[in-house]
Structure 1
Amino acid sequence: MPDPATPSETATPVTPPGARHRLVDVPGGRIHLVEQGSGPLVLLVHGFPESWYSWRHQLPALAAAGYRAVAVDVRGYGRSSKPPAVEEYRMLAHVADNVGVVQALGEKTATIVGHDWGSNIAADSALLRPDMFTAAALLGVPYAPRGGPRPTEAFARIGGDEEFYVSYFQTPGRAEAEIESDVRGWLAGFYAGLSGDTMPAPDEPSLYFVPPAGRLRDRFPAGPLPAWLSEAELDHYAGEFERTGPTGALNRYRNVDRDWADLAAWHGTPLTQPSLFIGGALDASLAWMADAVKNFPTTLPGLVASHILEGCGHWVQQERPDEVNTLLTEWLDALPAR
């Protein structure tokens, strides 16, 4: 469809020079994306609580390396569709969105790259549609096939008297109340709490757990922004969530049991395409999912390389853009031609 972005949107200073905004129709609604470059398609999928903007450093680097880099706003974020029902944020819907984007762009195949929840979405897109997603790069969150007990039951057993953040996010309206009271401040604290240079010390209470009658933000660090995040960049993120609200983003967490049921046929299934993993050494995801990393020889038999960046937290492609760009382009360049 024609690009419907307004002049103010296409001229926004946060857009990398040479990139353009588009809205494309997919079966589930519309997806907003930012694209740059020409060549083999590389689809970039963000996590929580971010947007296409988390790939602002990768778009020009991948374009310069000869790729068509496309960063989407996942449904519920930014200018993409925000369906009202919780179940419309199940994993199968996100996979369908990615398939629809590739088709809307006139392509038949793509390499998919994801961070945080986007890592899970990228992995499941490649798992369910290996004909279309011929390689996958996973950032921050390692691949773990469907398995184990029902996710909400497992999360409920974590933390003792305190509540694991994924459990805290399950009830509609609960996390929204604390976020919407101060969107910019909440985002600043969440980004800082998971960033390598500003996260709490290991001996401090974990911000991933909510004390009884408390809020998630009660343990956010008080201090400066992470080095990778300027005031203007925070303003952009806050502006997106001020406009859209956080419910669509939080609804991804509210589908973990539904995903577990939907993907029963893929229980324990490895991801066999060529793959790449990049994580931050200080990211708690690697500690919680150490077994998933250990099992890569079985679960990711096509793994080309796994890189753990020392001193880096959760926001790998923003905390270490140059390193991630180099690792991504070297991996992409070595993939079989498609």
Structure 2
Amino acid sequence: MAHPVATEPVHRLVPSPAGRIHLVEQGRGPLVLLVHGFPESWYSWRHQLPVLAAAGYRAVAVDVRGYGRSSRPEGADAYRLLELVEDNVAVVRALGEESAVIVGHDWGSTIAATSALVRPEVFRAVGLLSVAYAPPGGPRPSEVFAGTPGPEEFYVSYFQQPGRAEAEIEPDVRGWLAGFYAALSADTMPGADAPDPHFVAPGGTLRERFPSGRRPGWLGEAELDVYAAEFERTGLTGALGRYRAMDRDWADLAPYNGAPVTCPSLFVGGALDASTTWLADAIAAYPTTLPALHGSHLLDGCGHWIQQERPETVNRLLTEWLAALPS
């Protein structure tokens, strides 16, 4: 007898190298694994889970290690990309599957691309939201970010020292998150003449440059409550571990320097997102770096939180792409 499709999201904990991974699944069919970015959670995919389920897929959104109800190992080494890839593999196996399509946003995009790069036998296709794929290699990341011209400090460098960003964020997690989300959302991001919120002035904080008292349209009180409650409970150190492992990734992934991701792929970015501007050369290189690319889409008037700012468009692009994949 056929099993009924799960019409409501189901929460589960599964074992992984991290200890445990919390996930939320909905629907039955081919597995689609959804991986969030910073500073988010499985909840970032709340608009995608029911749509993918209705389209005939087993949609599964994880809390990346360091977030939510997933384990939070200590030390930056625990947040290397190769560790996160193995968490994803463990999720696929724990769900009784042999393979999955993987889709990521922000850091999740990098995690998804790396998963497809190093474990192609498990991840048969990859969708990338907001952050473009750039093959491993090049200069050491800490040297790149430390070399930003001028006296201001790039946010990635600001995040490196354990405890520093936490001291800014954790006294008022809810307010900080609201400002961070607003700074990168199309309808509330600072204008071109305002100080760039991706940089910190000498002796300053990131929060000083967040929009004051403005909330993006996609972020109501209820949504902010969910995010804030998670980070008030867990703190930010696990989430920030991803940034603090970047130099370790550079060494770990040296065998893959310059390598393309050859499985079927999709890219969707926001035209107003700084990530798409910074990585414009990477997007232009897709014919070489993503040779099986199905489509590359920049959504006009859209910022960084793409699947929450433009859920209908992202859902349409994802379901059309998934339907076109070989079974």
Global fold match (TM > 0.5) = yes
Question: 2:131 matched to 1:141?
Answer: yes
- How far apart, CA to CA, are the structure 1 residues paired with 2:24 and 2:271? 29
Tell me what 1:163 maps to: 153
Q: Any unmatched runs of 5+ in structure 1? A: 1-15
Q: Is the 8 A contact 2:18 2:72 kept in 1?
A: no
1:223: how far off?
A: 2.6
Question: 2:92 matched to 1:99?
Answer: no
Q: What secondary structure does 1:182 align onto?
A: helix
TM-score for the superposition, normalised by structure 2: 0.97
RMSD between superposed Cα atoms in Å: 0.9
- How far apart, CA to CA, are the structure 1 residues paired with 2:149 and 2:223? 33
Tell me what 2:37 maps to: 47
TM-score for the superposition, normalised by structure 1: 0.94
Q: What secondary structure does 2:132 align onto?
A: coil
1:17: how far off?
A: 5.9
- How far apart, CA to CA, are the structure 2 residues paired with 1:224 and 1:215? 18
Tell me what 1:201 maps to: 191
Tell me what 1:261 maps to: 251
Listed as ranges, the matches of 1:74-113 within 5 Å are 74-113=64-103
- How far apart, CA to CA, are the structure 2 residues paired with 1:17 and 1:133? 25
Q: Is the 8 A contact 1:47 1:118 kept in 2?
A: yes
- Could you list the per-position Cα deviations for residues 253-299 of structure 1 after superposition, in whole angstroms to 9, with x for gaps in the alignment? 00110000000000000001000000000000011111101101110
Question: 2:264 matched to 1:294?
Answer: no
Q: Is the 8 A contact 1:139 1:279 kept in 2?
A: yes
- Could you list the per-position Cα deviations for residues 65-123 of structure 1 after superposition, in whole angstroms to 9, with x for gaps in the alignment? 00000000000000000001221011111000000000000000000000000000000
Question: 2:121 matched to 1:131?
Answer: yes
Q: What secondary structure does 2:56 align onto?
A: coil
Question: 2:11 matched to 1:21?
Answer: yes
Question: 2:272 matched to 1:282?
Answer: yes
- How far apart, CA to CA, are the structure 1 residues paired with 2:279 and 2:16? 33
- How far apart, CA to CA, are the structure 1 residues paired with 2:311 and 2:176? 24
1:181 to 171, 178, 184: 171
Q: Is the 8 A contact 2:17 2:83 kept in 1?
A: no
Q: What secondary structure does 1:62 align onto?
A: helix
Q: Is the 8 A contact 2:136 2:253 kept in 1?
A: yes
- How far apart, CA to CA, are the structure 2 residues paired with 1:92 and 1:289? 22
- Could you list the per-position Cα deviations for residues 216-252 of structure 1 after superposition, in whole angstroms to 9, with x for gaps in the alignment? 1110001321001111100010000000000000010
Q: Percent identity?
A: 71
1:34 to 24, 34, 57: 24
Q: Is the 8 A contact 1:159 1:209 kept in 2?
A: no
Give the total of aligned pairs. Answer: 322
Q: What secondary structure does 1:69 align onto?
A: strand
- How far apart, CA to CA, are the structure 2 residues paired with 1:203 and 1:303? 36
- How far apart, CA to CA, are the structure 1 residues paired with 2:153 and 2:309? 28
Q: What secondary structure does 1:304 align onto?
A: strand
- How far apart, CA to CA, are the structure 2 residues paired with 1:92 and 1:302? 23
1:233 to 217, 223, 229: 223
- How far apart, CA to CA, are the structure 1 residues paired with 2:185 and 2:15? 35
Question: 2:241 matched to 1:251?
Answer: yes
- How far apart, CA to CA, are the structure 1 residues paired with 2:170 and 2:147? 28
Tell me what 2:3 maps to: none
- Could you list the per-position Cα deviations for residues 302-324 of structure 1 after superposition, in whole angstroms to 9, with x for gaps in the alignment? 10001100000000000000000
Tell me what 1:62 maps to: 52
- The one-letter code sitting in structure 1 at the alignment partner of 2:15 is D
- The one-letter code sitting in structure 1 at the alignment partner of 2:118 is L
Give the 4+ runs in structure 1 shifted more than 4 A: none
Q: What secondary structure does 2:245 align onto?
A: helix
